[in-house]
């Protein structure tokens, strides 16, 4: 089955826009994004696994979880839910953390929108990153070869370059 997927990056706005269609009804897709036992089944790119220590899906609630490598290396992240409209939208802030729940700020802001048509559900995700380094870390978890370097001030470089064009 061919499911719609779109990925757009606006470097100047430090924002990534993602749209993806899923062959399932809204309730199911909403659950897959908002229930720990389901999230743990898909968010970690294999061979990594996801392990949620706790998840309190309510406004002001948090999810504390680790991506675990095959060698047992743990990469903790903490998410805080800032807005929830059931089965329509939720927003969260996301940051890497240490194993004691101390976030490594600034993180990124994620906005999820859900809509259903003809039994298919479309999810639109907007990711705002204060630093593109956040994305770089996510890639590192998925692709353990390469991408090992920090790019803390990459966005400054990118904006300098884009202002020249």
Residues 24-83 that bind another protein (CB under 8 A): 24, 28-29, 31-32, 38, 41-43, 45-46
Stretch that binds another protein, among 54-62, 69-77, 85-93, 144-152 (CB under 8 A): 144-152
**96-100: long-range contacts at Cβ-Cβ below 8 A with a sequence spacing of 24 or more?**
96/134, 96/137, 97/64, 99/66, 99/74
Residue in 60, 100, 118, 164 binding another protein, rule: CB under 8 A: 164
Pick from 2, 5, 100, 104: which binds another protein (CB under 8 A)?
5
**Min CB(100)–another protein separation in Å:** 26
Q: Give residues 108-137 in contact with another protein (rule: CB under 8 A).
A: 135-136
**Near another protein by CB under 8 A, which window of 19-27, 64-72, 92-100, 106-114?**
19-27
| Residue 33 Cα to chain centre, angstroms | 10
For residue 149, what are the contacts with CB-CB under 8 A and spacing of at least 6?
136
Question: 60 vs 119, which CB is nearer to another protein?
Answer: 119
9: its two tokens: 């990056």
Instruction: Identify the bridge partners of residue 77 per DSSP, sorted by sequence position.
Output: 65, 96
- Tokens coding 37: 């036992």
Q: Evaluate whether 96 touches 103 at the Cβ level (below 8 Å).
A: yes
36 vs 158, beta carbon nearer another protein: 158
Q: Which of 49, 19, 3, 5 has the alpha carbon at shortest distance from 127?
A: 19
Where does this chain bind another protein (CB under 8 A)? Answer: 3, 5, 7, 9, 16, 18, 20, 22-24, 28-29, 31-32, 38, 41-43, 45-46, 135-136, 138-139, 142-143, 146-154, 156-158, 160-161, 164
């Amino acid at each position: 089955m061919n499911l719609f997927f779109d990925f757009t990056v606006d470097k100047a706005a430090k924002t990534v826009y993602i749209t993806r269609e899923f062959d399932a009804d809204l309730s199911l897709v909403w659950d897959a994004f908002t229930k720990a036992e389901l999230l743990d089944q898909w968010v970690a790119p294999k061979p990594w696994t996801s392990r949620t220590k706790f998840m309190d899906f309510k406004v002001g609630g948090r999810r504390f979880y680790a991506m675990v490598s095959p060698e047992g290396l743990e990469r903790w992240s903490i998410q805080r839910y800032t807005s929830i409209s059931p089965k329509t939208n939720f927003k969260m802030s996301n940051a890497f953390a240490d194993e004691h729940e101390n976030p490594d700020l600034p993180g990124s802001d994620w906005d999820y929108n859900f809509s259903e048509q003809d039994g298919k559900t479309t999810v639109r995700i907007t990711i705002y990153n204060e630093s593109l380094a956040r994305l770089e870390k996510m890639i590192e978890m998925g692709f353990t070869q390469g991408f090992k370097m920090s790019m803390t001030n990459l966005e400054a470089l990118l904006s300098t370059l884009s202002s020249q064009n």
